[in-house]
Amino acid sequence: MSSTAQLDPTPAAQALSQLDQLKKMTKVVADTGDFDSIKEFAPQDATTNPSLILKAAQMPAYKHLLDEVIARNKSLNLSGKAQLSHIMDDILVSFGTEILKIVPGRVSTETDANLSFDTEGLVGKAHKFIALYQEKGVAKERILIKIASTWEGIRAAGILQKEGINCNMTLLFSLAQAAACADVNAKLISPFVGRILDWYKAKTGKDYAPAEDPGVQSVREIYAYYKKFGYQTEVMGASFRNVGEIFELAGCDALTISPNLLAELKKSTAPMERKLSPAIARESNLDKLELDEKKFRWLFNEDAMAIEKTSEGIRIFAADALKLEKHIAGQL
């Protein structure tokens, strides 16, 4: 066979979808409660929150799951608010259990937004989630307990991590929050890329190229900080508005991505370049933050975007949890 007739390996490499290329450098996580979407994109992990579970619970395809939870809870000696609260927890865990039948890794289950400033309440809720999962035969190693990155939430994560219960610190918008989470050895953080972009666009009226996107820059800084100072906490970018943000964070420990953006990545075979790596991050010019509660609260307060988006996120999740409660109450 002549040299010109030999097979060129390049086209085969280029034939990989951007989603498959991304999976080679970053843990891809599905940001949805829809089982069909999770099956389609074959992520390693999945994340849920009250807004996503509310959306899934209202879909006819999952009505049987809600019916099963309600039927199971009718046999318990509970009524009123206590019954509704237990059903809420059970439905979150039931969705998580079904998701774990699809993904090989972990699922994130979110604590109540109204516990965001209650360390003891968050620890208690995490214990309840783990107990419910264990009743369904799911080991705690496959669960990430999602907690808002408030000072009280970070204290709860510190307690839970010492007990071997892994935490996903959500609603995170600043380096101060990220540093405090790493100091308590949180398993994973979820900095919200798109919501940071939303805030800056609303304040400035400007559009941002992906490389200059404030949300992208925030995650890059946090990633560099963790790698420079040897933290083991995983960085998982979240809340994306476009695939450009994802391209700029390729190589991050993990990225949790909505089904519509996963579909966009799956359709394209254009080359994807790795943008983040531990080796480059370790060379960054960053100082270590020494944080106690006073220093944390001061730095957090100085960041208007982080304060506003954390508060807004807690309110949105609380409102969607209330809608889910009402949906469940209507089925009782």
- Average pLDDT (140-165) is 98
The answer to whether position 249 is within a domain reads yes
Does the pTM exceed 0.85?
yes
pLDDT reading at 5 higher than 80: no
pLDDT of residue 10: 45
**Is the predicted pLDDT of residue 146 greater than 90, yes or no?**
yes
pLDDT of residue 159: 98
275 phi, psi to nearest 5 deg: -105, -25
- The more confidently predicted of residues 107 and 12 is 107
Q: How far apart are CA 200 and CA 197, in angstroms?
A: 5
HSE-CB of 205 using CA atoms within 13 angstroms: 0
Residue 77: the pLDDT is 76
Q: Does any domain span residue 322? A: yes
Helix-helix angle 80-100:63-73, to 10 degrees: 130
**pLDDT one-digit tens code per residue, 48-77:** 888 888 888 888 888 888 888 888 888 777
| Cα 90 to Cα 85: distance, rounded to the nearest angstrom | 9
For residue 54, the model assigns a pLDDT of 83
In a domain, 313, yes or no: yes
- Residue 23 appears among annotated catalytic residues: no
Q: Is residue 45 within 8 Å of 107, Cβ to Cβ? A: yes
Residues 6+ apart with CB under 8 A from 81: none
Reply yes or no on whether the pLDDT at 317 is more than 50: yes
Tell me if 192 sits within 8 A of 238, measured CB to CB: yes
Q: Using CA atoms, how far apart are residues 241 and 202, in angstroms rounded to an integer?
A: 14
Active site residue: 27, 125, 146, 227, which one?
146
Average pLDDT, the chain: 92
| CATH number for 286 | 3.20.20.70
Rounded Cα gap, residues 216 and 114, in angstroms = 29
Cα pseudo-dihedral 38, 39, 43, 45, rounded to 10: 60
Contact (Cβ atoms closer than 8 angstroms) between residue 190 and residue 219: no
Where is average pLDDT lowest: 190-199, 217-226, 320-329? Answer: 320-329
- Residue 265 domain-assigned (yes or no): yes
Band the pLDDT of 249: cuts 50, 70, 90.
Answer: very high
Q: Does 135 or 59 have the greater pLDDT score? A: 135
Residue 1 reports pLDDT greater than 60: no
Token pair belonging to 154: 């970070």
Q: Is residue 139 part of a domain?
A: yes
Q: Which residue has the higher pLDDT, 82 or 138?
A: 138
Whether 5 is in a domain gets the answer no
- Give me the mean pLDDT over the 295-310 stretch: 98
The residue segments making up the domain with residue 195 are: 17-331
For 68-115, the three-class secondary structure string (H helix, E strand, C coil) is HHHHHHCCCCCCHHHHHHHHHHHHHHHHHHHHHCCCCCCEEEECCHHH
Convert the pLDDT of each residue in 262-291 to its tens digit. 999 999 999 999 999 999 999 999 999 999
User: Residues 6 or more apart from 230 whose CB is under 8 A from it?
Assistant: none
Render pLDDT for 153-189 as a digit per residue (tens, 0 to 9).
Answer: 999 999 999 999 999 999 999 999 999 999 999 999 9
- CA–CA dist 30, 23 (Å, integer): 12
Q: Is the pLDDT of residue 84 over 60?
A: yes
pLDDT band at 14 (very low <50, low <70, confident <90, very high): low
Contact criterion met (CB below 8 Å) for 252 and 245:
no
The pLDDT > 90 percentage for the chain reads 78
Is residue 11's pLDDT more than 60?
no
At residue 273, φ and ψ (nearest 5 deg) are -100, 140
- 167, part of any domain: yes
Assess contact for 250 and 22: CB atoms under 8 A: yes
Number of domains in the chain: 1
